[in-house]
Amino acid sequence: MSGTPGFAAFASQRFLVVGGSSGIGLATARLAATHGAKVSVAGRNPDRAAEAAASIGADTEYAAFDMIDEAAVEVFFAERSPFDHIVVTAAAIRSAPVRELPLDTARATFASKFWGPYIVARFARLTDAGSLTLVSGAAARRPRAGRAPVAAASAAIEALTRVLAAEFAPVRVNCVAPGLVDTPMLRAARGANAPAPQVPMARAARPEEIAFQILACAANPYMTGSIVDVDGGLATTG
Ligand SMILES: NC(=O)c1ccc[n+]([C@@H]2O[C@H](COP(=O)([O-])OP(=O)(O)OC[C@H]3O[C@@H](n4cnc5c(N)ncnc54)[C@H](OP(=O)(O)O)[C@@H]3O)[C@@H](O)[C@H]2O)c1
């Protein structure tokens, strides 16, 4: 890669967004496609993935697999040439206080948020100039009551990011840590009329604002092992 870093470099590059059928992933896939990337979106539900792909553009591909299914992930990558950039936004989260959340549900949340991206990383095929971008969450370093599995898994994802950056070089590995983001996941967890978060920006992020930072991680050829907060200023609050 040469010249001034920017999203123009994405033109004709191959982008995979695992979790690209909804929320932050869909916004990331759409923004990459806007800059000329050849985009694939993946999720478990094939109809949802197909609908998302069609909404992005006629040449957007889609695939359906469960990222915690090792064999399915291995086959997916074995059947395709290496991607230039892979983004993993996928997760299915259930939260409740430790004494109330059934252990199976807690384990499934941790598996989805941590082992899913781990398995994608294990089998991913990337070009040498490429990148992998993971997503943690503000809960990694600002945990709240009732969020144990997702907070622990998010912290684990941030540690994994740094390990992978060391292991995968020259492929770059970074992580974006959002605060609250207005997506189907958030609406399901908090309801449509939840109060605005008490952060300096006084609102949840739009998915496009997180997508922008994810693409910035992918586009910056000197960025690896970085964890980037995009949380409306949460760190300034008490
Ligand atoms: N929204 C927030 O406020 C917020 C805040 C902090 C961090 N985050 C993090 O940001 C990421 C994206 O969140 P979001 O709000 O955009 O979620 P979302 O709208 O619920 O989208 C999740 C996506 O992941 C896919 N998915 C879930 N489990 C999967 C699996 N096992 N294998 C493959 N695909 C799977 C879903 O499709 P299928 O259901 O079809 O599989 C969907 O495309 C998550 O890691 C979340 O923890 C979100």
Do the domain assignments include residue 3? Answer: no
pLDDT at site 115: 98
Q: Residue with the nearest Cα to atom 47 of ligand 1?
A: 91
Do the domain assignments include residue 189? Answer: yes
pLDDT digits (tens, 9 = 90+) for 39-53: 999 999 999 999 999
Number of structural domains the chain divides into: 1
Mean pLDDT of 176-191: 92
Do the domain assignments include residue 51? Answer: yes
Q: For residue 137, how far is its CA from the centre of ligand 1 (angstroms)?
A: 11
The domain containing residue 130 runs over which residues? 8-229
Do the domain assignments include residue 234? Answer: no
Mean pLDDT of 10-37: 98
Within 10 angstroms of residue 153's Cβ, the number of other Cβ atoms is: 26
Determine if ligand 1 sits within 6 Å of the CB of residue 130: no
Query: How many Å apart are CA 181 and CA 125, to the nearest integer?
Result: 29
Do the domain assignments include residue 201? Answer: yes
Read off the tokens for 84. Answer: 């230039």
Indicate yes or no: pTM above 0.95.
yes
Q: For residue 18, how far is its CA from the centre of ligand 1 (angstroms)?
A: 9
